[in-house]
Structure 1
Amino acid sequence: MTLFFLVVILEIKKDIVSGHLSSLRRIALSLIGALGGMIVPALTYLLVTYGHPEVARGWAVPVATDAAFTLPLILTLGRHVSSGARAWLMALAIFDDVLGIMVIALFYGSALYWPALTMAAIIIAALILANRAGIRTLWSYGIGGVLLWGTLQESGLHPTLAGVITGLCLPVTTLEKNAKQAAPLDRVSSALTPFVTWIVLPLFGFMNVGVSMAGIQPCMMLDAVPLGIMLGLVIGKPVGVFGATLLSTHLKIATLPAETPTGMLFGLSLLCGIGFTISLFVANRAFFGSDLAVPAKMGIFAGSILSALLGWLWLRFSYQRVRE
């Protein structure tokens, strides 16, 4: 998963430099939507599970949007989603994933071990200095990233944070004498994206999705944990994303993408409730060794499937009728 977040942060960095996030207003629109889409689902979960303090640790399970599943789904909608809206959702999902790993690192790590944390800070400083000094050799950043992963593992912070930090430090340009050679960021992204897409994510799903259906009854979805997660994804996510995005445009902080009316924005906000991969990751951390792990996965499956179905139907049929 460290490699997954490395690829994610590389996509954000490329968009900030020369893509859909090249202006502060565009960044603000996606970032504010992502923040709203984290706060409201967490509050929804805590509200549903109120009176059950033993399950409060799962508040972060419904806060992340799964970019790996959301983005391919909107591509199947074709002309029903504008190019500006696709870019907005892609940026929001990526920001959401990065914020999700920050939550994991800060709230689901172990007690901090300061010597290792100090060494991690030294390695981060070295990576930043390498970037500033114009070092473009990939092995320098590769070694630094591996060492950072090891020190974060010992520090108590979640080691997947190493992927985010290393990606931020990778240079986005190449030296003039090597003008024909791709920049380090592009080379790493091209090399890792297929590996992450076709090996890392399926392997992660295979290792973490398995849930025995023996003895599971539909009424179990009304228990606090699965119900809180499901409602957090199906209701909390779209309310948070849609509400925060509209608020940012009302306050003139940002503007909606071109050819993206509020009806289309609402349908895309529904799709943000697909929290499959990252939600499973958080659930495994929150309920490690607990009997609540299986109910949590039930809520993730139900909420993600409902969100995907509702969002796709809205954008494919309901929104089409409204537009006509």
Structure 2
Amino acid sequence: MASRPTLEFLKTETGSGLILAMAALAAIVWANSPWAGAYHAITYHAVTVQVGPFAEQMSVAAWVKTALMPIFFFVVGLEIKHEILRGELSNPRRLALPVLAAAGGVVVPALVYLAINAGEGGSPAGWPIPTATDIAFALAALAMVGPRLPPALRIFLLTLAIADDLVAVLLIAVLFTSEVRFPMLAGAAVTLAVLAAMSRWRTAPYSFWVLGGLLLWGFTLKSGINTSLAGVAAAFCLPLEPKRPGGQGVLQETMEALHPYVAFFILPLFAFMAAGFSLGGVEGVGILGPVSLGVAAGLFFGKQIGVFGAAALAIGLKWARRPTGAKWLELYGVSALCGVGFTMSLFIGALAFPAADALHQAQVRAGVVLGSLASVLMGMAVLAISAARRARDQAGQA
């Protein structure tokens, strides 16, 4: 039986999937319309923020990635902590299948990308891009075609995606930290230590947590480390216990409060800023280069082969059991849905190639959109076929 936070997570992320799709479609249409200049003017418009000694200038798109996406990673961190301590990831028997499947879904897409980009003209640095899974899109697609499918499939997909996000956070930490400013890093470490100590103060006002989170974000930004890590680190400091006996846990309360803003504002805004690519001009000439082909093939072929292959191997070796009530065809359909990388892949792609590299940035966007679209269509088609078979079987037994 899924826990209440998990069910709320499913409900919110599923509902935001269509908003994400609409935001991405609007960006692509606008970027290829006669008013494309206005789209690029908005996304690349420089904005300066200064608060006391803190001063930073970035484009609107960069601010969304740097200042708003850490809130998304904060929520992801809250979900990971809850699942590790109280949810699906706390049960070793239930944990084995999605974690092994997630491992296959990271390794195989990376190998597919590298195989396409190993030759002359390739860009091997983008190999982490197709390793990600977009929880919102994948769950929305599953909900649309599989309302009568076994609930265990949804929990399997959610747990796999959470494990996938954890790997993505580690990759960001290891691969996309270039120059570290140690005085600022020390400030971030001290702030994080204070937040960790506050975890024992269950009645701490939320304003204290907000102030600590902002300080941690500011120090992390100035240290040169990706600010998404600040979001995850802060999440692990929040206590699970309620402020008062019988009340809702601090972590759960925070997660439920932030979910709607993340699902219906931050992620669609990021998708709108990051998904627009031009099919004409200089970018359009090389839009189908090794990067876009590697990303698209990694998401579509690599993900489903890696996830389903690792899951089948684990089940065949009796290291894990198939999700309760699920058929092999349904497990394959869910594996195909894992190829919907979208927001996470776009985020990693923005880190893998500098903003000044317009051609590779355009190829990343094209590859993510094409690979994710192909994956969602394949997954939905397979699951729709299985759902129709279930309906016929039930009608025959009636």
TM exceeds 0.5? yes
Distance 1:280 1:32 in 2: 24
Residue matched to 2:240: 172
- Distance apart, 1:134 and its partner CA: 4.5
1:188 aligns with 2:275: no
Q: After the TM superposition, which residues 70-219 of structure 1 pair with which residues of structure 2 at under 5 Å, given as runs?
A: 70-132=138-200, 134=202, 136-175=204-243, 178-215=244-281
Contact 1:128 1:169 (8 Å CA) reproduced? yes
Task: Give 1:273's aligned amino acid.
Answer: G
Q: After superposition, what is the alpha-carbon deviation per residue over 1:20-64, rounded to whole angstroms, capped at 9, x for unaligned?
A: 334122233222222221111111100011113651111111110
Task: Give 2:270's aligned amino acid.
Answer: F
- Distance apart, 1:196 and its partner CA: 0.8
Q: After superposition, what is the alpha-carbon deviation per residue over 1:211-233, rounded to whole angstroms, capped at 9, x for unaligned?
A: 12225999966531111111100
Contact 1:274 1:307 (8 Å CA) reproduced? yes
Distance 1:81 1:216 in 2: 46
Question: Can you give the 5+ residue segments of structure 2 that lack an aligned partner in the other structure?
Answer: 1-68, 394-398
- Distance apart, 1:96 and its partner CA: 1.3
Contact 2:202 2:241 (8 Å CA) reproduced? no
Given candidates 67, 87, 91, the residue that maps to 1:19 is 87
Task: Give 1:158's aligned amino acid.
Answer: N
Moved more, 14-23 or 102-111: 14-23
TM score, norm. by length of structure 2:
0.74
Contact 2:131 2:303 (8 Å CA) reproduced? yes
Moved more, 254-263 or 185-194: 254-263
Distance 1:128 1:184 in 2: 14
Contact 2:128 2:171 (8 Å CA) reproduced? yes
Distance 1:128 1:243 in 2: 40
- Distance apart, 1:254 and its partner CA: 2.9
Question: Can you give the 5+ residue segments of structure 1 that lack an aligned partner in the other structure?
Answer: none
Q: Are residues 264 and 139 of structure 1, via their aligned partners in 2, closer, same or farther at CA, if it must alter by over 3 Å?
A: same
Contact 1:172 1:183 (8 Å CA) reproduced? yes
Distance 1:135 1:35 in 2: 39
Secondary structure at the counterpart of residue 247 of structure 1? helix
Distance 1:216 1:321 in 2: 48
Q: After the TM superposition, which residues 26-45 of structure 1 pair with which residues of structure 2 at under 5 Å, given as runs?
A: 26-45=94-113
User: How many residues are aligned here?
Assistant: 322
Distance 1:200 1:222 in 2: 29
Distance 1:249 1:229 in 2: 28
- Distance apart, 1:65 and its partner CA: 0.4
Structure 1 vs Structure 2 CA RMSD: 2.4
Q: After the TM superposition, which residues 48-87 of structure 1 pair with which residues of structure 2 at under 5 Å, given as runs?
A: 48-52=116-120, 55-87=123-155
Q: After superposition, what is the alpha-carbon deviation per residue over 1:271-302, rounded to whole angstroms, capped at 9, x for unaligned?
A: 00001111111111212211211122111111
Secondary structure at the counterpart of residue 21 of structure 1? helix
Moved more, 294-303 or 133-142: 133-142
Q: After the TM superposition, which residues 235-246 of structure 1 pair with which residues of structure 2 at under 5 Å, given as runs?
A: 235-246=301-312
Q: How much identity, in percent, do the aligned residues show?
A: 39
Greater than 4 Å deviation, 4+ residue runs: 133-136, 215-222, 318-324
Distance 1:252 1:4 in 2: 36
Distance 1:124 1:217 in 2: 42
Moved more, 283-292 or 265-274: 283-292
Distance 1:108 1:64 in 2: 15
Given candidates 235, 247, 250, the residue that maps to 2:313 is 247
Given candidates 216, 219, 225, the residue that maps to 2:291 is 225
Distance 1:218 1:145 in 2: 41
Contact 1:136 1:184 (8 Å CA) reproduced? no
